[in-house]
Amino acid sequence: MITSTVRRTVRERGLVSPRDHVLVACSGGPDSTVLLHVLHRLRSELGLTLCVASIDHGLRPESSSEVEQVGAFASAIGVPFYPVRVELEKEGASLQARARELRYAALQEVARARGAACIAVGHTQDDQAETVLARVLRGAGLRGLGGIEARRSDGVIRPLLDCRRADVRAYAVERELPFVDDPSNHQRAFERVRIRHEVLPVLTAEDPRVVEHLCALSDEATELNAYLDASVPKLPGGGDRYVPIEVLSGLPVPLRVRWLRGWIGRETGLTPNRSHLTDVGRLLTGRGEVLLGSGWSISRQGGGLSLEYRAHRRTRSNRS
């Protein structure tokens, strides 16, 4: 079941091309271990060659032995293995986010060095549902509801994205694959863990298919995002920090919001959130200033919107 689902996901979502060399990221957990095993089984059929990398963050005493276990498994199935140790400061905010950033940077470096066209990681359908719920709780809009991308622009792919976590684990147990359980998956201090063990079970009691429904919502949002992104027009005046209001006022709101997001991103390097874009939209018929962060703001200047940078800003936007 898992093998056939991965085969369909890879083909329908266009994750790889024949003759691709794929770097499989394997932590030693059940999901990434099954990912490696299934891709190894499908490698000839899909026309792939594989290599494996395991990243040791040094956060737990047993992490080095887990990397060694991945290496032993890779050796047993005849796949080249590359262990990487990264240095992560344990103090500071967003430990998981910083670990993820370092991990992906290390994986990209290995992929470049080994000529890999893409990096396969082990996110499942349950991970997708948890991501969508987390973004809903943070007030995400349509773009955020797209959740985890099956294939990112940087070559990261997720062949297990249509597989349930329980089925993946059953596959590993049935075939006696060597895997370890990360204790951080049970630490309630992390938002994802609370969603997994507290929020989703309540929703599942109301709707046993809630994970499937959240993932379908994510796929639909992804399709709509792609359509809207392709429909955003090129407007005059968008190549600098001033745009006439008249060129924006005739656009449908979804396209206007996307144009503004792209304009702000190109000119400032920032990623405006939904509240920023809502406030900027109000400037089309009002006055005031919207602070975007990092010294940047947008204000109504005569017949247009003007992006401005000053190192020292007020901490609150104002509109009228």
Instruction: Identify the CATH number of the domain in which residue 37 sits.
Output: 3.40.50.620
What is the pLDDT, as a whole number, of residue 92?
A: 60
Closest CA to 270 of 260, 282, 279: 260
What is the pLDDT, as a whole number, of residue 239?
A: 57
**Residue 90 predicted with pLDDT over 70:** no
Mean pLDDT score, 315-320: 51
**pLDDT-based confidence at 236, cuts 50/70/90?**
low
User: Do 67 and 190 belong to one domain?
Assistant: yes
**Residue 184 predicted with pLDDT over 80:** no
**pLDDT-based confidence at 97, cuts 50/70/90?**
confident
For residue 94, is it within any domain? yes
What is the pLDDT, as a whole number, of residue 234?
A: 84
Closest CA to 113 of 21, 189, 38: 21
For residue 226, is it within any domain? no
User: Do 157 and 283 belong to one domain?
Assistant: no
182 or 192: whose pLDDT is higher? 192
317 or 304: whose pLDDT is higher? 304
Tens of pLDDT along 131-151?
A: 999 999 988 889 899 999 999
**DSSP H or E segment with residue 67:** helix 63-76
**pLDDT-based confidence at 290, cuts 50/70/90?**
very high
For residue 130, is it within any domain? no
For residue 138, is it within any domain? no
DSSP E strand boundaries for the chain = 21-25, 49-56, 81-85, 118-120, 156-157, 242-244, 288-293, 296-301, 304-309, 318-319
111 or 90: whose pLDDT is higher? 111
For residue 219, is it within any domain? no
User: Do 278 and 199 belong to one domain?
Assistant: no
Tens of pLDDT along 192-227?
A: 899 999 999 999 999 999 999 999 999 999 999 999
User: Do 90 and 153 belong to one domain?
Assistant: yes
Rg (CA), the chain: 23
Contact 37/10 with Cβ under 8 angstroms?
A: no
User: Do 173 and 34 belong to one domain?
Assistant: yes
| pTM, full prediction | 0.88
For residue 213, is it within any domain? no
What is the pLDDT, as a whole number, of residue 57?
A: 81
User: Do 161 and 277 belong to one domain?
Assistant: no
User: Do 310 and 182 belong to one domain?
Assistant: no
Structural domains in the chain (count): 2
User: Do 157 and 268 belong to one domain?
Assistant: no
What is the pLDDT, as a whole number, of residue 66?
A: 92
**Residue 273 predicted with pLDDT over 70:** yes
Top mean-pLDDT range of 59-63, 88-92, 110-114: 110-114
User: Do 165 and 291 belong to one domain?
Assistant: no
CATH number at residue 296: 3.30.465
Tens of pLDDT along 46-62?
A: 999 999 999 998 777 78
For residue 211, is it within any domain? no
What is the pLDDT, as a whole number, of residue 318?
A: 52
Burial grade of 55 (CB within 10 A; 0-12, 13-18, 19 or more): buried
User: Do 251 and 310 belong to one domain?
Assistant: yes
Instruction: Look at 5-19, 29-43, 170-184 and tell me which has the smallest mean pLDDT.
Output: 170-184
In angstroms, the CA 175 to CA 37 distance is: 10
DSSP E strand boundaries for 211-259 = 242-244
- Domain with 55 in it: 2-125+149-203
